[in-house]
Amino acid sequence: MKRLTLKAEGAGRLVPPAILAACAFVLPPLLGAAGAAFLLTQLTMAAYYVLASLGLCALMGYAGQISLGQAGFFAIGGYASAFLCTRDLGPAASAPLARCLDLAGLLVRGADPYGKALLSLAPWLSGLLAVLLAAAVAALIGTPVLRLKGHYLAMATLGFGIVVEKVARGSKALGGADGISAVPGLALWPGLEVTGGRAARSANFTIAWLVLALGILALANLVRSRPGRALRALREGEEAALAMGIDTARYKLNVFVIAAVFAAVAGVLLTHYNGSIGPGEASSTRSVRYVAIVAVGGMDNLVGTLAAGLVLNFLSLRGVFGNYDDAVFGAILILIMLLSPEGKAARAFHSLLPRGKGAPR
């Protein structure tokens, strides 16, 4: 009976986050002892990319709303934080707003790569603002776009991702094709900073994997909750969901914003970790990569997405796929669809298509 209760309450959902949290602390000394501590860098980066895929898993796998623009939100987070915390407020230091921010301790003094003194927004604040911006953009474009279904929603979100990439690539303020570099570390806590470099490598691996653990825990909680059930219900038929009192438009928008926030948090943290961001992070091939990982993971499967994401991103970051990196993810998507025509992925993809005429059920 005890077991039954535990199962009913979904205690199993605690296992993946617990494993991730344990790895966060155990892997650095272990890999260090094995002389492979250099792998921590790619494992850290992989964790942030997986975070963006997990958000997409909630949106696409559970709520059945496809998005080919997830990289756009990742880039909005990364770019906005990088932009805000590398602006020199020095010339405007005497302006009332800047003085207020300074007095409140929200500005930091640093130096640009050429040694010029900089007065800029604290990265934790720029990161927070960047995530809020991504959420606001998601709410703004989600409201009209989520009325679309299936192919149409896919195309609209693809268009959004292209807009973000081309704006980043074309904008001088955002560094054009070079992107933004010399992005300072993001202090989460005094002495605990999201930043690159060997000295911070272990700590940053721990940070990244703990963030990932919290992310998957939040989503695992969500899919087992009342709103999560409502999302799964609307995936399988909006008419019935509406008849049961579910405000489908609001639920779709909420999960769209949550997915965007996951991508933006990942974008912010990875940008401060790498110290830079470029327009490639917003590209549609990136978005396809996030989709491919969710598909490999089994669509409505957070743990599958986690595992697929960690493995594939790690291999990709290690350069295993060489020049064929993006091609590999495209091929994976094709294979998933072909090899399991009656399988889970294909069935789930069918459920994304508009119902009615000829749509497989």
Partner 1 sequence: MSLLEVSGLSRSFGGLKAVDDVGFAAEADRITAVIGPNGAGKSTLFNLISGGLAPDSGRVSFDGSDITRLPPHRVARLGISRTFQAIKISKRMTALENVMIGRHVRSRSGFPSGMLAAPWARAEERSIRDAAMRAIERLGIAEYRDRQAGGLPFGVQRSVELARALAAEPRLLLLDEPASGLNARETRVLAELILGIRGMGIAILVVEHDMSLVMDVSDDVVVLNFGKKIAQGRPREIQSNREVIKIYLGEDDA
Told to check if 45 binds partner 1 by CB under 8 A, we report no
Told to check if 131 binds partner 1 by CB under 8 A, we report no
Q: Residue 3: what are its φ and ψ, rounded to 5°?
A: -60, -45
Told to check if 346 binds partner 1 by CB under 8 A, we report no
Distance of CA 196 to the CA centre of its chain: 19
**Cβ atoms of 329 and 289 closer than 8 Å:** yes
Classified as helix, coil or strand, 342 is coil
With CB under 8 A as the contact rule, the residue among 96, 190, 191, 245 that binds partner 1 is 245
Told to check if 186 binds partner 1 by CB under 8 A, we report no
Residue with tokens 């989503």: 219
Residue 359 to residues 46, 264, 298, Cα–Cα distance (Å): 36, 34, 20
Q: Pick the stretch among 28-36, 66-74, 246-254, 328-336 that binds partner 1 (CB under 8 A).
A: 246-254
**Cβ atoms of 85 and 123 closer than 8 Å:** yes
The CA angle 40-41-47, to the nearest 5 degrees, is 85
Which residue type does 286 have?
R
Told to check if 80 binds partner 1 by CB under 8 A, we report no
Q: Pick the stretch among 26-34, 205-213, 239-247, 331-339 that binds partner 1 (CB under 8 A).
A: 239-247
Site string for partner 1, 87-126 (x = CB under 8 A): ----------------------------------------
With CB under 8 A as the contact rule, the residue among 159, 237, 275, 330 that binds partner 1 is 237
> What is the C-alpha separation between 286 and 61, in angstroms, rounded?
18
> What is the C-alpha separation between 300 and 352, in angstroms, rounded?
12
With CB under 8 A as the contact rule, the residue among 210, 232, 337, 353 that binds partner 1 is 232
Told to check if 136 binds partner 1 by CB under 8 A, we report no
> What is the C-alpha separation between 246 and 330, in angstroms, rounded?
36
With CB under 8 A as the contact rule, the residue among 222, 269, 308, 310 that binds partner 1 is 222
Told to check if 178 binds partner 1 by CB under 8 A, we report no
Told to check if 228 binds partner 1 by CB under 8 A, we report yes
Complex with partner 1: residue 281 or 300, whichever CB lies closer: 300
Q: Pick the stretch among 115-123, 156-164, 193-201, 243-251 that binds partner 1 (CB under 8 A).
A: 243-251
Told to check if 265 binds partner 1 by CB under 8 A, we report no
With CB under 8 A as the contact rule, the residue among 195, 248, 287, 313 that binds partner 1 is 248
Complex with partner 1: residue 86 or 254, whichever CB lies closer: 254
Complex with partner 1: residue 23 or 258, whichever CB lies closer: 258
Residue 155 to residues 20, 61, 92, 146, 306, Cα–Cα distance (Å): 35, 18, 42, 12, 26
Q: Pick the stretch among 18-26, 42-50, 92-100, 225-233 that binds partner 1 (CB under 8 A).
A: 225-233
- Residues numbered 1 to 20 that lie near partner 1 (CB under 8 A) are 8-9
Q: Which of 157, 158, 179, 153 is nearest to 167 (CA)?
A: 179
* List of E strands, 125-218: 186-189, 192-194
* List of E strands, 104-243: 107-111, 117-121, 186-189, 192-194
With CB under 8 A as the contact rule, the residue among 2, 3, 172, 226 that binds partner 1 is 226
Site string for partner 1, 298-317 (x = CB under 8 A): --x-----------------
CB of 241 to partner 1, least distance (A): 8
Residue 187: other Cβ atoms inside 10 A:
17
Query: What are the residues whose beta carbons fall under 8 Å from the beta carbon of 118, sequence distance 6 or more?
Result: 86, 88, 90, 109, 110, 111, 112
- The residues of the shown chain that bind partner 1, judged by CB under 8 A, are 8-9, 218-219, 221-222, 224-230, 232-233, 235-237, 239-248, 254, 258, 300, 351
